[in-house]
Amino acid sequence: MADSAGIQQGSPAIGAAGLVPAAPGAGGTEGSGAAGGSARIVAKKAQLRSSPRPKKLEKLGIYSSCKAEGPCKCNGWKNQNPPPTPPQTDQQTITVNLQEPCRSCSHTLGDHVSHLENISEEEMNRLLGVVLDVEYLYTCVHKEEDADTKQVYFSLFKLLRKSILQMGKPMLEAQESPPFEKPSIEQGENNFVQYKFSHLPSKERQTIMELAKMFLNQINYWQLETPSQRRQRVPNEDAAGYKVNYTRWLCYCNVPQFCDSLPRYDTTQIFGRTLLRSVFTVMRKQLLEQARQEKDKLPPEKRTLILTHFPKFLSMLEEEVYSHSSPIWSLEFLAGTTGGQIPVQTVISAPPVTRSLYYSASPVSVEPPTCGRVSPARKPNPALEPNPVVVGEKRKPSEPLHHEENKRPRVLGDIPMDLINEVMATITDPATIPETSLLSAHSARDEAARLEERRGVIEFHVIGNSLNQKPNKRILMWLVGLQNVFSHQLPRMPKEYITRLVFDPKHKTLSLIKDGRVIGGICFRMFPSQGFTEIVFCAVTSNEQVKGYGTHLMNHLKEYHIKHEILNFLTYADEYAIGYFKKQGFSKDIKVPKSKYVGYIKDYEGATLMGCELNPSIPYTEFSVIIKKQKEIIKKLIERKQAQIRKVYPGLSCFKDGVRQIPIESIPGIRETGWKPAGKGKELKDPDQLYSTLKSILQHVKSHQNAWPFMEPVKKTEAPGYYQVIRFPMDLKTMSERLKSRYYTTRKLFMADMQRIFTNCREYNPPESEYYKCANLLEKFFYGKIKEAGLIEK
C-alpha cells in the first residue's frame, strides 16, 4: 500500500468487535435490535414511496397546514375515522377521498395538500421520507428516559416538522458547523500510522492498516454514553464540554444513521482528540472484552489479528491519544508534503520529560493501618483519607546516585563518561529513537498497567482494618471486595480464613482499584523487628488478568517496603503461583536466616517457601523502562565499536609454509576486537605460602553458617543409600586431614575436592531441601574467598 494512501472506513462488521449502530432512543447503549430497527425504517419508506399518489397526499396532509380561504390555524389534516392501531393489512386498499373533511377545522384534505398537487414525484418522496423520520423521532422522544438525549430528539423533531410545513430541506442551526476539531480523529490516526509504522515492511504495514481501519470503523458506530451516565462514572471531568460534543454527535452522526433526511457525517471526520480522549478508555476495554468473549466465533484468519495484534495497537495508540506532546495531533504534521513518503524525521517533536525514578526521602509513618494511599495519577480524595500516603510517590536513596558516581573510583576498562553522555543524547534524540514493533513479543509485562496508572485508569491503595479508628465506609467496601477476589481466585483456601486475615488489623492489603471497584490485591503482614514481610494472598480477578496488573502490583509493594526499610519478602506459593513469583524475583534460595522467620509465618501444607531480597537502589515501578534504556545504550556502544574495528585483514599465509600452530594473539586484528588472553589464575609455587592460603580459606568455609551439613562424612544411618548414589564422597573434615598431610600440592586439587562437596549434595538432595540451599550459598562464599586470595581471576 502506498504511504500516501489514507485510512478509509470499512464495513461495520470488521473483526470480532464489529458493533452495529444502535437506534436513537436506545439509551446510549448498543441495542441488539438496532440494525433491525434501521432496516424497518428503510422498508417502511420504500413501501410508502411505492403507494398511489392520493395515499401519499393523505400522508403529507397530516403534516401540512390548511390552505383554505379565510383565517384557518389548522396545522395538519386529521382523519375523522382514524385507522386502527396497529393498522390492518387491508387498510391500504381503502380509497383516499380528497374531499374528506378534517376533524379539526372541517376543511377538506384537498385544502391541506393543494400546494403539493404540482410538485414532482421525487420531491414528494423526499417529503415522505421526512414525515417518517418525524414519526420515528416522536416515538424516540416518548421512549427516551435520559433528559439530555430527549431534549435533542425533541429539537430535531421540531426541525423536521418545520421543514415539512415550509417544504424545505432541514438545516441544523448551530454556532459551529462540522468539522469541530482539527486534525480529525481519522487524520490523527493516519498520522499515527505514518509516525510509528512507516519503517515497517509492506506486509506488516498492511496489518497495521487493517487494525487502523477496524478501529476507525468502531468509532463511527460507537454509542457514546449520555452526559448523566458520564457524570456518575467520571464526576470530576468537564461535564459541559462533553455534553456539547454529545449533542453534536447525536445531531450529526447518530440520529442521521436512521433519519436519512438529516445530513450525516462520520464521527472520525468531524471530531478530534477531545472526543477520542473521552471515549478511548471505555471503548478499548469493551472492545477487548468482547473480542475475548467471542474468540471461538472468530474466523481463523482474523483470530491472531484481533486477539494478539489489536490489543498492542490500541496500547500504542492510547499513549499518543493522552500524551500532551504527541506530534500526530499537530496541524503541521503533514506540512510541506503533497503525497508519497511522509518525512517523519521533520515532524517528530521532543518526547515528554519523564518523571524522576526515585522517591522523596520524607519520612512516612506506617500507621494508621486504615490510611488509603493512591497513585500519583489521581488526586487523593479528602473525604476518604485526611493524611494520605501516596503509593508511587517519588523516593530517592539515602545518598543521591550522582554523588555515588563521583565517589566511585574509575576502573580500568570503564567506558569514558563523555562517550556515555554522547550515546545518551543519541537515544533520547526523537529523530533516532527506535520504534517498538507492535508485533514484538518482548514488551515489558507491566507496560500497559503503568500507562493506565499514569492516566488514572487504575489506582493503588494500601488499606487495612482498624479497631481504634472510626470505620471508613469506602475502605470497608474495598476490604469486602478484596475478600471476594481472594475467595474466587483461591478456591482451595477456606473463605473464613481469608476473611479473618483480610480484616485482621495486623495485616494490610495493597489493593488495585479500577473504575471504583477492587480487581486485585496483595495481602501481607510486616515484621519490622525481624526484617521481613510475609505475603499471604496475591490475586487478580480472572477477567483482568494477562494485562500486567500482577507485576505492577508487586512492583508497588516493593517500593512501599523500601520506603519502610523492609527488604525481604517471604511467601508460601502453591504449584500454580510458583511461576508468577519467579517472574517477580522470588526464589527458593531464602536469604533470611531461619531463626528470623520460624514461628512467625504461617506454614502451608504442599506449598513451597520462596523469598525475595529487595535492592533499595532499584525503582521497581520504572525498572522495565530503565532496562529498556540500558539495552539501547549497550546496543549503541556495540554499533560504535563495530564501526571502529570494521576492517578486513589479509588471511594467514603461514600455514602454507608448514606452520602447524600459532599463538592466538598473533592473529591480525584479534586484539582490536577486545580479546584478551584467558586468565589462568595465580599458581603459588611456594608450598608454605600455598598451605597457609588454603588453610585460611578452609577455615573461613568451615566457619560459615551454611557449612554445618558438610562438616563430617555422611552417616549411612542418616542417609540410607547415599553411598550407592555418591561414588566419590567428600566433606570438610576429610579436606582438613588432607590439608594437614600436605596432599594439596596445587590449588586445583583443593578446588576439585571442595567442588565435589557441592556437586554431591546437589546430586543426592532435592532442590527444595535445606541441604541443597546450603550448598549453593556455601559454594558462592567459597569462590568469593578464592578470588580474594588471587587463586583465580576476578
**Which tens digits make up the pLDDT trace of 90-100?**
444 557 777 78
* Strands of 517-527's sheet in order across: 458-463, 508-514, 517-527, 532-540, 568-573, 608-613
| Interval 167-194 mean pLDDT | 84
If one counts every other C-beta atom within 10 angstroms of the C-beta of residue 499, the result is 17
The one-letter amino acid at 90: D
E strands present in 605-732 = 608-613
Read off the pLDDT of each residue in 260-285 and give the average, rounded to a whole number.
Answer: 90
The angle subtended at Cα 310 by Cα 306 and Cα 312, nearest 5°, is: 140
Which of 227-231, 638-642, 683-687 has the highest average model confidence (pLDDT)? 227-231
What DSSP letter does each residue of 178-228 carry, written as one string?
S--SSS-HHHHHHHHHHHHHTTS-HHHHHHHHHHHHHHHHHHHT--PPPHH
Domain range summary for the chain, segments of one domain joined by +? 35-80+96-166, 185-322, 446-614, 617-646, 687-789
The answer to whether the beta carbons of residues 249 and 271 sit under 8 Å apart is yes
Q: What's the average model confidence in pLDDT over 75-85?
A: 68
**pLDDT value at 344 more than 60:** no
Q: Within its chain, how far is the Cα of 90 from the centroid?
A: 60
- Give strand pairing partners of 533: 526, 569
Residue 577, marked binder: yes
Give, in order, the Cα–Cα distances in Å from 104 to each of 101, 209, 330, 594. 9, 60, 60, 97
322-347 mean pLDDT: 57
Ramachandran angles phi, psi of 108, nearest 5°? -75, 165
pLDDT at residue 298, as a whole number: 81
Coil vs helix vs strand at 162: helix
Q: Is it the case that residue 435 has pLDDT exceeding 70?
A: no
Least confident of 74-78, 465-469, 537-541: 74-78
Instruction: Give the angle 578-579-585 at the CA atoms, nearest 5°.
Output: 90
Does residue 301 carry a pLDDT above 80? no
Give percent of the chain with pLDDT exceeding 70: 77
| 231 phi and psi angles, rounded to 5 deg | -60, -35
- Structural Rg of the chain based on CA atoms: 38
Q: What is the pLDDT of residues 389-401, one digit of tens each?
A: 445 554 544 433 4
CA–CA separation, 251 and 263 (whole Å): 9
Query: What whole-number distance in Å separates Cα of residue 483 and Cα of residue 375?
Result: 22
Would you give the DSSP letter of residue 306?
I
Residue 11 has pLDDT above 70, yes or no: no
394 is in an annotated binding site: no
Catalytic center residues: 534
How many angstroms separate the CA atoms of 302 and 295, rounded? Answer: 10
Q: How far is CA 693 from CA 440, 687, 756, 785, in A?
A: 53, 10, 20, 10
Q: ω before 179 within 30° of 0 (cis)?
A: yes
540 annotated ligand binder:
yes
Calculate mean pLDDT across residues 405-414: 47
414 band by pLDDT with thresholds 50, 70 and 90: low
Per-residue pLDDT band at 683 (split at 50, 70, 90): low
User: What average pLDDT does the chain have?
Assistant: 77
Predicted confidence at residue 415, as pLDDT, reads 67
* Helix/strand/coil for 377: coil
Q: Please tell me the predicted confidence (pLDDT) of residue 184.
A: 92
pLDDT value of residue 557: 94
Residue 17: per-residue pLDDT: 34
Say how far apart CA 738 and CA 745 lie, in whole Å: 10
Give the 3-state secondary structure of residue 587.
strand
Picking from 676, 673, 675, the residue whose alpha carbon sits closest to that of residue 644 is: 673
* Distance of alpha carbon 590 from alpha carbon 605, whole angstroms: 18
pLDDT (tens digit, 9 = 90+) per residue, 145-158? 888 999 998 888 88
Least confident of 29-38, 81-90, 264-273, 733-742: 29-38
Q: How far apart are CA 349 and CA 430, in angstroms?
A: 7
> How many other C-beta atoms lie within 10 A of the C-beta of residue 6?
11
Is there a binding annotation on residue 518?
no
Look at strands 608-613 and 517-527 and give their pairing: unpaired
**Residue 519: strand, helix, or coil:** strand
CATH code for the domain defined by 687-789:
1.20.920.10
62 is in an annotated binding site: no
Query: If DSSP codes are grouped into helix, strand and coil, which group holds residue 645?
Result: helix
The Cα–Cα gap between 271 and 339 comes to 24
Q: Cα(498)–Cα(523) distance, rounded to whole angstroms?
A: 10
Please give the distance of CA 713 from its chain centroid, rounded to a whole number: 56
Cβ pair 522, 538 in contact under 8 A:
yes
257 or 643, which is more confident: 257
Residue 509 has pLDDT above 60, yes or no: yes
CATH architecture of 446-614: 3-Layer(aba) Sandwich (3.40)
- 711 neighbors 735 (Cβ within 8 angstroms): no
200 or 600: which carries more pLDDT confidence? 600
| Type of residue numbered 692 | S
Q: Which of 12-26, 233-247, 364-378, 584-598 has the highest mean pLDDT?
A: 584-598
What is the structure's pLDDT at 561? 93
pLDDT (mean) for 744-763? 90
- Of 41-50, 56-65, 479-488, 672-681, the poorest mean pLDDT is in 672-681
Q: Is 580 annotated in some ligand binding site? A: no
* Helix, strand, coil in percent for the chain, rounding step 5: 50, 5, 45
Look up residue 565 and give its three cell numbers: 526499610
Long-range pairs of 98-101 with CB within 8 A, sequence gap ≥ 24: 98/54, 98/57
Beta-carbon count within 10 A of 225 CB: 20
What pLDDT, on the 0 to 100 scale, is given for residue 111?
Answer: 78
- The single-letter code of the amino acid at 773 is K
> 90: which DSSP letter?
G
351 vs 571: which has the higher pLDDT: 571
Statement: residue 69 has pLDDT above 80? no
Confidence band (pLDDT; 50, 70, 90) for 533?
Answer: very high
Q: Grid coordinates in use for 608? A: 513451597
Per residue in 515-531, pLDDT (tens digit) is: 889 999 999 999 999 99
Most confidently predicted of 26-35, 49-58, 401-410, 565-574: 565-574
Q: Above 70 in pLDDT, residue 312?
A: yes
Q: Which residue has the cell 496489518?
A: 207
The pLDDT assigned to 720 comes to 81
Lowest mean pLDDT among 10-24, 159-173, 455-469, 637-651: 10-24
Q: What's the confidence (pLDDT) of residue 37?
A: 60
Q: What is residue 610's predicted lDDT score, i.e. its pLDDT?
A: 93
Least confident span in 175-189, 358-372, 493-507, 614-628: 358-372
Percent of the chain with pLDDT over 90: 22
**What is the mean predicted confidence (pLDDT) over 433-455?**
63
Please tell me the predicted confidence (pLDDT) of residue 522. 95
- The 10s digit of each residue's pLDDT in 729-753 is 999 999 999 999 999 888 888 999 9
Q: What is the pLDDT of residue 236?
A: 75
User: Which ranges of 62-184 would DSSP assign to H, the alpha helix?
Assistant: 109-113, 121-143, 147-166
Burial of 580 (0-12, 13-18, 19+ CB in 10 A): middle
Question: 342 with 3: CB under 8 angstroms?
Answer: yes
How far is the C-alpha of 441 from the C-alpha of 37, rounded, in Å? 43
Cα–Cα separations (whole angstroms), residue 230 to 233, 242, 451, 717: 5, 9, 22, 74
Q: What is the pLDDT of residue 531?
A: 92
Determine if residue 27 is labeled as part of a ligand binding site.
Answer: no
> Which pLDDT band, with edges at 50, 70 and 90, does 668 fall under?
confident
Query: Is 15 marked as binding a ligand?
Result: no
What does the alpha-carbon distance between residue 733 and residue 274 come to, in Å, rounded to a whole number? Answer: 77
CB 129 within 8 A of CB 261: yes
- Ligand-binding site membership of 682 (annotated): no
H-helix or E-strand spanning residue 523: strand 517-527
Tell me: pLDDT of 33 over 50.
no
545 is in an annotated binding site: yes
Exposure b/e, 34-70, CB count within 10 A at least 16 = b? beebbeebeeebeebbeeeeebbbbbbbbbbbbebee
Q: Are 513 and 461 in contact (CB under 8 A)?
A: yes
Query: Could you give the CA distance from residue 58 to residue 113 in angstroms, rounded to a whole number?
Result: 8
Rounded average pLDDT over 4-14: 39
pLDDT tens figures, 568-617: 999 998 888 888 899 889 999 898 998 889 888 877 778 889 999 999 88
* Ligand-binding site membership of 583 (annotated): no
